[in-house]
Amino acid sequence: MKPFRFVRLLVDFWRKMRLDYRLIVRSEGDLHAKVNILLRPWNWLVLISTFLVVGSLFFGAILVYTPLGSYMPGNSRRKWEKQVVLQGQRIDSLEAYILMNQRNMSVLRREILGEDSFKYKDLPKPDVGYSYGIELLDTALGRADSLLRWEVEREFALQKASKVRGQDTKTPQKP
């Protein structure tokens, strides 16, 4: 019996959808019809569903073809995703570059201060150089050492230049 009851309800619904309803608006004094509208439930259902479909298509087009769509999760632009990935790779490479520079600075600090690097093999490389501080390198001895190195390099460059000039003058000329 229950399946037949459902069929009966469905048939009644379709019958009611096909019935015509008339809406008449009359004037107060003489009761003449001002507005006469024929209402069918089926027409209203078609009209409302059409407006819903057209409205959803319009709203979807707005989201797809305007910047509003980027605010929805999972709908970001490919160009922005690539840019985020590239920036992440740059940060990783810069982090590796900074770590390498820190290690180089620690090695240079140990060499400038004259410490034996074999004593400190078991210590982590970046932390060893930073434990001394930059103030130890800015002493008068450090400045005098820099001046001495500069003078030695200049003398060496002059000696090398004079040797090169001397060899050029002493080379035998071809007959």
Q: Domain ranges in the chain?
A: 2-71, 79-167
- Given a cut of 60, is residue 100 above it in pLDDT? yes
- Rounded to whole angstroms, the Cα distance separating 154 from 161 reads 11
Residue 140 token pair: 């008068």
Q: C-alpha angle with apex 146: 143 to 147, nearest 5 degrees?
A: 90
The string of pLDDT tens digits covering residues 4-53 is 788 888 888 888 877 888 888 888 888 888 888 888 888 888 889 999 99
Q: Is 60 helix (H, G, I), strand (E, B) or coil?
A: helix
pTM: 0.34
Local structure of residue 172 (DSSP, 8 states): P
Residue 53's pLDDT is 98
Phi then psi for residue 33, to 5 deg, are -75, 125
Task: Specify the 3-state DSSP secondary structure of 21.
Answer: strand
Instruction: Tell me which long-range contacts 64-73 makes (C-beta under 8 A, separation of at least 24).
Output: none
Report how far residue 44's alpha carbon sits from residue 52's, in angstroms, rounded to the nearest whole number: 12
Whether 138 has a pLDDT exceeding 60, the answer reads: no
Task: Evaluate whether 121 touches 141 at the Cβ level (below 8 Å).
Answer: no
